[in-house]
Structure 1
């Protein structure tokens, strides 16, 4: 589902993807449950790549670059999300290797100005037949380079 977010200030790197927090995403204290943050980040990441034709439709052999697995996830919670509504996930790449990548993220307000959580995730592209690491395609790498966070 595509969500329209308020106009966000221009980001110096990466993309801001709108996400929706629903009432049932909140825990008994009325806070966004800690396990929902990675789920919402994953949905934003999936939306970003679906927009570039990278998707999983049930066939791992046809999935190409969508055939990947999480190797590592790190997240820190900065401020509580206390209500349902439209938020955003700021996504970027910190590293684009031959078979793996590290992407950074911020779970933030819809306009990108307030950070609620931030972290990084390491993905490895897999060969569907062997489940061993295999290189990203040239097309994926071209889009990935556009998402790289400047190092200076």
Structure 2
């Protein structure tokens, strides 16, 4: 009889102060013919990191969406590519809430390889009704963003 061996958990990030750090690795499917990470994949990396940041902070987007209470949508994005990433690179996506309003949130994100900055971007999102109209974010979420903006550690 063999002992039960738990499955490894998916990659997750964690907060260090107000910044969320999300690790990832570059796989072959992320690269283009030149062997560099295809530009659109940086947006995917940043999306994964933002989703993880909200989850780790205690914001349950899935439950809110399934209850019909609203969903986030990207309203604006600005990205700057500085250096390329390559196959097998270990990367870190750092995300930090830089502003928020009743229905909006702005997040600055950086993709690094070690200390080297590869990409950085500014992403704005709006909290929308099922009909696609802006609406107020849940009050507990505003409280979380406020704590993040002041640099309060929110790790459990």
- TM-score under structure 2 normalisation? 0.78
Say if 1:4 and 1:43 are closer, same or farther in 2 by CA, change over 3 A.
closer
Equivalent residue, structure 2, for 1:2: 11
Equivalent residue, structure 1, for 2:137: 136
Quick check: 1:54–1:63 contact (8 Å CA) kept in 2?
Answer: no
Equivalent residue, structure 2, for 1:60: 65
- The structure richer in helix per residue is 2
Please state if 1:71 is matched with 2:72: no
Inter-partner Cα distance in structure 2 for 1:63 and 1:75 = 31
- TM-score under structure 1 normalisation? 0.80
Quick check: 1:72–1:121 contact (8 Å CA) kept in 2?
Answer: yes
Inter-partner Cα distance in structure 2 for 1:97 and 1:16 = 23
Please state if 1:42 is matched with 2:43: no
Aligned to 1:82, the other structure's residue is in SS state coil
- Paired residues for 1:2-151 under 5 Å: 2=11, 13-51=18-56, 52-56=58-62, 60-62=65-67, 64=69, 67-109=71-113, 111=114, 113-128=115-130, 130-148=131-149
Gap regions ≥5 residues in structure 1: none
Structure (1 or 2) with the larger CA radius of gyration:
2
Q: How well do the aligned residues superpose, as a CA RMSD in angstroms?
A: 2.5
Please give the per-residue CA displacement for 1:33-73, whole angstroms capped at 9, x wherever unaligned.
Answer: 0000010110111112222142326x8352646x0111111
Quick check: 1:56–1:63 contact (8 Å CA) kept in 2?
Answer: no
Inter-partner Cα distance in structure 2 for 1:145 and 1:83 = 37
